[in-house]
Amino acid sequence: MITVLSSFLAADCTSDDAGVVVRNPGRALVSLSEERERLRALGGPFILLPELVAVLTLLSDQHGPFDYRLSCAFVSPDGEVHGVIQTADFAWPAGKRVERVSVRLAGQIRFFESGGVYHIRFLLDGAPLCQVPLPIFWDDAVPTAELAEEAS
């Protein structure tokens, strides 16, 4: 069985022999209200999201090696799945029980007026694993501290 020790979104994540470098963790997306007006004038098309990286630290009850598959999708504040479900295959390293993986995310969501807390829903071999919050708002509709607390 695999469980999640930690999960977050970042602008970028790289690793080498020296370690892991995470850039701009804890992402929230805030866009200019002028862009909302431009998209509204176009009839409310989809909003293209910037590339994000989901960083998951996983714990297995058994040592590797073994193969597994992660799938993920954007989920709207009302629970509707948006965009294409992305899937990637991984190999758990031999002799390890803890593994950090990064998944590059790209996609689009339907136009919205006010925004909200979206989630990136992860499945492990088809079974629910975790959800990572992704607040998305226009600059004139950024939530109060109470709403921000709900997102964490």
What is the reported pLDDT for 125?
94
Where the chain has pLDDT below 70, the residues are 15-25, 27, 83-84, 144-152
SS3 144: coil
What is the reported pLDDT for 96?
92
Report the C-alpha gap between 102 and 50 in whole angstroms: 16
Query: How many domains does the structure of the chain reveal?
Result: 1
H or E stretch covering 151: helix 145-151
* Closest of 46, 13, 48 to residue 29, by C-alpha: 48
Domain of residue 110: give its range. Answer: 2-151
What is the reported pLDDT for 28?
77
CATH number of the domain within which 97 lies:
2.60.40
What is the reported pLDDT for 92?
94
Report the C-alpha gap between 85 and 4 in whole angstroms: 20
Report the C-alpha gap between 102 and 55 in whole angstroms: 4
What is the reported pLDDT for 144?
63
Instruction: Name the pTM for this structure.
Output: 0.80
Q: Name 97's Cβ contacts closer than 8 Å, sequence gap at least 6.
A: 59, 60, 61, 62, 63, 64
What is the reported pLDDT for 17?
67
